[in-house]
Amino acid sequence: MSVQPLLTPVAVNIREGKVLTETTGLDLILPCCNPPENWVETLLQHYEEVRHILAPVPVQLIVVNDGSTRNFGAQQITQLQSAIPDIIIVSYPVNCGKGHAVREGSKRGRFDLQIYTDLDFPFGVAVIKKVYEQLLKGTDVVAGERGAAYLKLLPVRRKFITRVSRYMNRFLLHLKIDDAQAGLKGFNPHGRRILLSTRIDGFLYDSEFIYKASQDPLITMESLDITCRPGISFSSFRPKVLLRELRNYLSILKMSHE
């Protein structure tokens, strides 16, 4: 894709001698495990929408296959590579968790600015541009934050878990952002350094990321209001997963008292 300079570029120094402009490239990281049927066609549609709204910004798509046992084989890889020749596909046979997948995708990025979200773009495509624009202004970490409307969409059990999580984030970890678990984050190299320092492989890697970013006085962090697009379905957490994530939460809490 050719990139033509904009007439009125915005330049931002990001403290390491680099300059960001309105044509600074973006890594778009999408972790997944056992995606649904026909997910490739949906992803290609979303990817084209992202390219359109960000044009002429070059977008590097990075898909991380976190040990899928179905719907991510040679056929799907061929489809992706045929449609997007420069796509980066990271794949490994054993499921290691979403946190691990996001870090592996980030390590293989091409650009200074990176955004990760879920494979099905649960918050839509337009929000990607909003996060990108916030990063251009010099913010180190941009975190999507789901409001009260999101809670109304959730099943009863998941709604309770989300409320408890937000309460603990606010009053136990004293996070700057209550809704640390929203699966949409953007960051520059300084935020990337924080992300790659996280160790939790499961869902609570998000909370560890936000906690560590909150503790670093040199990191600037902003939240961005996001809403779920229509038609999104929500999975339920199995007791085994909840127990594992509780242990992960206790490990973050331990950090806060060290």
Give 77-107 pLDDT, tens digit per residue.
999 999 999 999 999 999 999 999 999 999 9
Task: Quick: pLDDT tens for 23-44.
Answer: 899 999 999 999 999 999 999 9
Q: Is the pLDDT of residue 1 over 60?
A: no
Amino acid at 172: L
Closest CA to 61 of 35, 85, 87, 42: 87
Structure tokens at 92: 């490994």
Looking at residue 126, its pLDDT comes to: 97
H-helix or E-strand containing 224?
A: strand 221-226
pLDDT: which is higher, 182 or 15: 182
pLDDT category of residue 196 using cuts at 50, 70 and 90: very high
Amino acid at 125: V
Q: CA 249 → CA 3, 154, 187, distances in Å?
A: 44, 21, 23
Structure tokens at 135: 């990063």
Query: What is the C-alpha to C-alpha distance for residues 106 and 122, in angstroms, rounded to an integer?
Result: 20
Looking at residue 7, its pLDDT comes to: 37
pLDDT: which is higher, 253 or 128: 128
Structure tokens at 217: 């006085």
Q: Is the pLDDT of residue 60 over 60?
A: yes
Closest CA to 251 of 210, 219, 205, 216: 205
Looking at residue 226, its pLDDT comes to: 86
H-helix or E-strand containing 191?
A: helix 189-196
**CA torsion, ordered 110, 227, 162, 208, to nearest 10 deg:** 20
Task: Quick: pLDDT tens for 116-174.
Answer: 999 999 999 999 999 999 999 999 999 998 776 665 666 666 666 667 777 677 777 87
Looking at residue 234, its pLDDT comes to: 55
HEC-encoded secondary structure of 143-166: EEEECHHHHHHCCHHHHHHHHHHH
Q: CA 21 → CA 10, 42, 135, distances in Å?
A: 5, 30, 10
Mean pLDDT of the chain: 86
CB 111 within 8 A of CB 61: no
pTM for the model = 0.86
Task: Quick: pLDDT tens for 167-182.
Answer: 677 777 878 787 787 8
Q: Where are the domains of the chain?
A: 23-256
Query: What is the C-alpha to C-alpha distance for residues 33 and 68, in angstroms, rounded to an integer?
Result: 5
* CATH of region 23-256, choose from 1.10.246.90, 3.20.20.70, 3.90.550.10, 2.40.290.10: 3.90.550.10
